Chains A and B, each alone.
Chain A
Amino acid sequence: MMRRPLAAIAGAALLLVPGIAHAHLLNTGLGPVYDGISHLFLSVEDLLPVAAMALLAGLNGPVAGRRALFALPAAWLAGGFAGYLVAVAILPTGITALSLLVLGILTAADRRIRPAIVTALAAALGLLHGWLNGAAIATAGREAMELIGIAGAILVVAALVSALVVSLRLSWARIAVRVAGSWIAATGLLLLGWTLSGRL
């Protein structure tokens, strides 16, 4: 009888273990801004949550899309600079998995969410992932300017994806977005499983 609660506590504890600051930091040779841009497109653990957030914001109309568009990169930048200054990844390793799971489920469910909540989700996502990026950049002894590149790339991805979803008029296109949300949730669940089993 006691096994299940114990397993749940152990799992939660594993999720809360601070992760090692790691990210796909690369040297493009084109300077830190381009390094930052490339980082986003080569880091699935950052790109996928951004895409999921943009899908969710787009499903909730132009107001939510607009607010998330500004909240997400701004929070990413703020979290990034804070993480860069502290240079310690004090956040749990399961952040990416949880982000994907929550955003994926909300997208797949396609329930109307108030723009303020979408904005808050975007800000939370930005702060958490930005912190991890900033800490990783500082730990690797790289330039904080990379965060500008990352935030710029996030603004572009979020604008294009959420505007695309807002402009969808056909019902099957909306279903396709929900299916994408369910895949994102499944990816999050898989990552969560790996995190709990200690594979990540």
Chain B
Amino acid sequence: MRRYLRTLLRAAGLALASAIAGAACAHEMRPGYLELREAEPATYALLWKRPTGGEVEIQIAPVIPDGCSFATRDRQQLTPGAVLVRGTLSCSGGLAGKTLRIDGLDITVTDVLVRIQHADGRLENHLLRPATPSVTLGAATSGLERARSYLQLGVQHILLGVDHLLFVLGLLLIVSDRWMLVKTITAFTLAHSITLAIATLGYASAPLLPLNAAIALSILFLGPEIVRAWRGETSFTIRHPWVVAFAFGLLHGFGFASGLTAMGLPRAEIPLALLLFNVGVELGQIAFVVLVILLERAFRTLEIHWPRLIEALPGYTVGSLGAYWTIQRTALLF
């Protein structure tokens, strides 16, 4: 009977792992970017960046507002990580009051940042999301609204980045005391902030597909370490998890940067975007860490004694998902 129960629990664990893996694969969080710059009255230079080259092809395209037409033919260019479309848009009576829509956005989980630079200096920023794939143009955007959209992007990026969250969960399962937890999370934060800044400012870059495979490998690496820690064994990672958090954090930072670099923001906008995007990522990460700690304390207060198999499940889930993603993402390289 116990054997059947064990098999059933293992099957449930595997089903859960594959469900998470499937869900995470579909979550491509690399936003698109649409820029309209008013060169002459009612004439706008258009730049559209659609992210490509990830695990899932994002099929989105802007629908030109009614009353607008291309004055010059749109030119396409394939760059690493994005398809660029440029053209000149002529809109009778300007863009005020016109509706801009991103076709296909409602069936994705990504966002599109729309930035409109008017001739009179007004700046309009809109973050279009699957729930709100269209916007009526015209109103100038305050600095606070722009800041909020970057902050929102950061929070979303970490919440949808199941692989990043799983890595943080893995670290939480390894650390033994509160001080080590603070050190480890700080090291991870510091490391991914460094590479996020370097990549966003354009000093270094990492190709997306090998990077994703390496991030998956970092999760796979933690799986056996969690099981070792659970068995009471020791290793370099268990003694110094902050070193591992820092080393792999550098990789994860390049992953976070894909959320900003895919958009190719104007240089003047980068410091604000970088700062607030990173703050958003940290807020999401802190919320996740606090939630896990509170839940662990709640389970202890309620005197929940998990069966040994369930106790080992987080370690095996982290390891299995890490292995699954590593194989899947490595296969995509060829």
Q: B129 an interface residue at 8 Å Cβ cutoff?
A: yes
Collect the chain A residues with CB atoms within 8 Å of residue B63's CB. Answer: none
Sample (9) of A-B pairs whose CB atoms are under 8 Å apart: A27-B131, A29-B131, A31-B26, A34-B159, A63-B303, A156-B291, A159-B295, A159-B298, A163-B298
- Which of B26, B111, B295 has a CB less than 8 Å from the CB of A156? B295
Collect the chain A residues with CB atoms within 8 Å of residue B302's CB. Answer: 62, 65-66, 69, 159, 162-163, 166
CA distance A97 to B164 in the complex (A): 41
For residues 270 through 311 of chain B, which have their beta carbon under 8 Å from a beta carbon of chain A? 291, 294-295, 297-299, 301-304
* Contact indicator B298/A30 (Cβ below 8 Å): no
Select from chain A the residue with minimum beta-carbon distance to B295: A159
CA distance A62 to B303 in the complex (A): 7
Chain A residues touching B, majority SS: helix
Collect the chain A residues with CB atoms within 8 Å of residue B294's CB. Answer: 160
Q: By CB atoms of chain B within 10 A, which of A28, A33, A65, A163 has the most?
A: A163
Q: A43 an interface residue at 8 Å Cβ cutoff?
A: no
Collect the chain B residues with CB atoms within 8 Å of residue A33's CB. Answer: 23
Collect the chain A residues with CB atoms within 8 Å of residue B27's CB. Answer: 31
* Contact indicator A29/B111 (Cβ below 8 Å): yes
CA distance A33 to B27 in the complex (A): 12
Collect the chain A residues with CB atoms within 8 Å of residue B323's CB. Answer: none
Tell me the A residues contacting B by CB distance below 8 Å. 26-31, 33-34, 62-63, 65-66, 69, 156, 159-160, 162-164, 166-167
CA distance A29 to B27 in the complex (A): 11
Collect the chain B residues with CB atoms within 8 Å of residue A160's CB. Answer: 294-295, 298
Q: By CB atoms of chain A within 10 A, which of B109, B156, B302, B304 has the most?
A: B302
Collect the chain B residues with CB atoms within 8 Å of residue A29's CB. Answer: 109, 111, 129-132
* Contact indicator A62/B301 (Cβ below 8 Å): yes
Nearest Cβ on chain A to B30's Cβ, whole angstroms: 14
Collect the chain B residues with CB atoms within 8 Å of residue A62's CB. Answer: 301-303
Select from chain B the residue with minimum beta-carbon distance to A163: B298
Contact with A along B133-169 (1 / 0, CB 8 A): 0000000000000000000000010011000000000
* Contact indicator B301/A31 (Cβ below 8 Å): no
Collect the chain A residues with CB atoms within 8 Å of residue B295's CB. Answer: 156, 159-160
Given that A62-B303, A160-B298 are contacting pairs, would A30 and B159 also be in contact in the complex, using a CB cutoff of 8 Å?
yes
